[in-house]
């Protein structure tokens, strides 16, 4: 059975890789299997994780704990969502959607504001001339690092300021900001490509070691 699994995985891997040449029937078969299996998997996983484990067990507990009646509200929203199948009262399905969108926006607004704005502001306020506590000499590495952080944050904010045209000093500052962003993206790019290479190596290792036994 394990051997059968390895052969299936290897053939599906090669089928997906065949897309690198061009779209072909083998890729289409692999794609359909992938989509079908994953859609089926998620349907069952959602049924047991959400409907059974969260809702059913929550409202009809068997371990002696109190039922969580709030879950009925979630169930009601779910039923309202299904009303879109009706042409007459399908408009009611907008209510649960509006609830989800509104609740999400409200919940995340403060969360993001704290982590992405307030904490960033507090952390950026730093001494840009860093000296050694013992010798009182300037520590050039830390000093340059602090200056870069402050310039990067301020110029980045200027770039994302939408109420003023990027002209003159403001425009030059915004350009400095975009340079900082691009250098950051470049570093991210290199880092991520390296991690993707390790994924590719993992797949090739599977093909040559587990399937073809060409590697020990």
**Residues linked to residue 138 through DSSP beta bridges, in sequence order:** 131
Q: How far apart are CA 30 and CA 20, in angstroms?
A: 14
- Smallest gap from Cβ 7 to other proteins, in A, equals 20
Closer residue to other proteins in complex, CB, 182/201 = 182
160 near other proteins, judged by CB under 8 A:
yes
Q: Which range, of 47-55, 59-67, 163-171, 203-211, touches other proteins by CB under 8 A?
A: 163-171
Q: Which range, of 48-56, 65-73, 185-193, 203-211, touches other proteins by CB under 8 A?
A: 185-193
The vertex-70 CA angle with 65 and 74, nearest 5°, equals 125
44 near other proteins, judged by CB under 8 A:
no
- Smallest gap from Cβ 213 to other proteins, in A, equals 27
Closer residue to other proteins in complex, CB, 135/216 = 135
Q: How far apart are CA 83 and CA 89, in angstroms?
A: 7
66 near other proteins, judged by CB under 8 A:
no
Judged by CB under 8 A, the residue of 5, 7, 14, 42 near other proteins is 42
24: Cα separation from own chain's centroid: 31
Q: How far apart are CA 88 and CA 83, in angstroms?
A: 9
Candidates 74, 77, 81, 76; CA nearest to 54 is 74
Eight-class DSSP state of 164:
S
> Is residue 67 within 8 Å of residue 60, measured between CB atoms?
yes
> Is residue 180 within 8 Å of residue 155, measured between CB atoms?
yes
Q: Which range, of 56-64, 65-73, 112-120, 207-215, touches other proteins by CB under 8 A?
A: 112-120
Helix, strand, coil tally for the chain in percent (to 5): 80, 0, 20
Q: Which range, of 50-58, 66-74, 146-154, 205-213, touches other proteins by CB under 8 A?
A: 146-154
Residue 179 token pair = 């340079």
Provide the binding-site residues for other proteins, judged by CB under 8 A.
Answer: 16, 19, 22-23, 27-28, 30-31, 34-35, 37-39, 41-42, 46, 81, 84, 93-94, 97, 100-101, 104-105, 108, 110, 112-114, 117-122, 124-129, 131, 150, 153-154, 157-158, 160-166, 181-182, 184-186, 188-189, 192, 196
């Amino acid at each position: 059975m394990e051997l059968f699994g390895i052969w299936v995985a290897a053939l599906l891997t090669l089928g997906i890789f065949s897309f690198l040449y061009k779209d072909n029937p083998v890729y289409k078969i692999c794609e359909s299997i992938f989509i079908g299996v994953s859609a089926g998997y998620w349907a069952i996983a959602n049924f047991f994780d959400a409907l059974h484990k969260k809702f059913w067990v929550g409202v009809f507990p068997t371990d002696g704990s109190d039922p969580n009646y709030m879950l009925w509200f979630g169930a009601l929203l779910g039923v309202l969502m299904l009303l879109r199948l009706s042409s007459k009262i399908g408009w009611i399905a907008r209510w649960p959607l509006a609830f989800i969108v509104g609740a999400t926006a409200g919940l995340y607004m403060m969360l993001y504001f704290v982590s992405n704005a307030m904490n960033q502001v507090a952390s950026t306020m730093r001494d840009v001339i860093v000296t050694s506590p013992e010798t009182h000499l300037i520590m050039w590495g830390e000093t340059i690092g602090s200056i870069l952080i402050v310039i990067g944050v301020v110029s980045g904010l200027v770039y994302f300021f939408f109420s003023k045209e990027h002209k003159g000093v403001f425009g030059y500052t915004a350009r400095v900001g975009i340079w900082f962003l691009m250098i950051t993206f470049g570093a991210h790019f290199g880092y991520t490509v390296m991690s993707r290479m390790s994924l590719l190596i993992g797949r090739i290792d599977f093909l040559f070691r587990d399937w073809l036994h060409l590697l020990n």
